[in-house]
Structure formats: C-alpha cells, structure tokens
Amino acid sequence: MAALPVPVPGVAVRYWYVGACGPFALFDADFEPPGPGGESEFLNLVPARLLPPEYADALWEGIREGLGSTSAAVLLTHGRYHEADSSEWGFRRAGEMAGRAALVRAGLLPPEEGPPERYVRPPAG
C-alpha cells in the first residue's frame, strides 16, 4: 500500500443540491502521511451533536474508497449535517470526493480525475 507523501491540509467538501432536497454533507479534513505502522487512521474532532457517529463512520468509509490503495492519517476538524437531507450515502459520497481531492493535491492523481470543483473548495492561498 502506498502512503500519502505530503500533508494536505484543509480539504473542505460542501456536498448538497441548491434549491432542492437532496444529499447534504459538509466537513473539513486534514490529510497527513500515515504514522509509524503505515496504516490509515481517522480522528474525529467534531462533536456528535454536529455530526452523528453514523455519518462520521460513513464519511470515513468514503474517504478510504477515495484514497484507494493510498494510506493516510485523516483529522476531521469540522462537520455538519442536515436533519432532513443528510444520509449515510451522502456522507460516503462526500468522503470519496475528499479522498480523491487529497490525492490530487498530493500530486498522485491528475486534476481531471479529482472531484467536481463545485463540491470541493480549492486550497487556500
């Protein structure tokens, strides 16, 4: 398994459909190279009242899918859900976009293989 070679801070995903009901997932995450065992790990700093555990778990599943065979340490720093429009599927999809965005920003994927720009905020700076 390959490891994320460089830190990728501030991956911000805003996944929702404006003007209609649909999936809603909002979060910020920092990606780092994995620790000494080389395994992927996930640390969630968001309180459950802002992001229930079932959505955080689905998000982590999606991030792992998006990273594919690349391992990384992921720190979830912000997250929100919507009582009516959020779903595990939406958070899984948003997590996949975040994983792919991290790979693009780390230089492991070409930009055209990354997520749609309308959902993932470009890096600051």
Residue 114 tokens read as 């990354």
Q: What is the pTM of this model?
A: 0.92
Separation between Cα atoms, residue 99 and residue 102, nearest integer Å = 5
Residue 27 tokens read as 């979060």
Contact predicate 7/31, CB 8 Å: yes
Quote the pLDDT of residue 31: 98
Quote the pLDDT of residue 117: 83
Quote the pLDDT of residue 94: 96
Type and span of the H or E element at 37: none
Q: In tens digits, what is the pLDDT along the chain, a chain of 125 residues? A: 799 999 999 999 998 876 666 789 999 999 999 999 999 999 999 999 999 999 999 999 999 999 999 999 999 999 999 988 899 999 999 999 999 999 999 999 999 999 988 888 876 65
Q: What single-letter DSSP state applies at residue 33?
A: -
Contact predicate 25/62, CB 8 Å: no
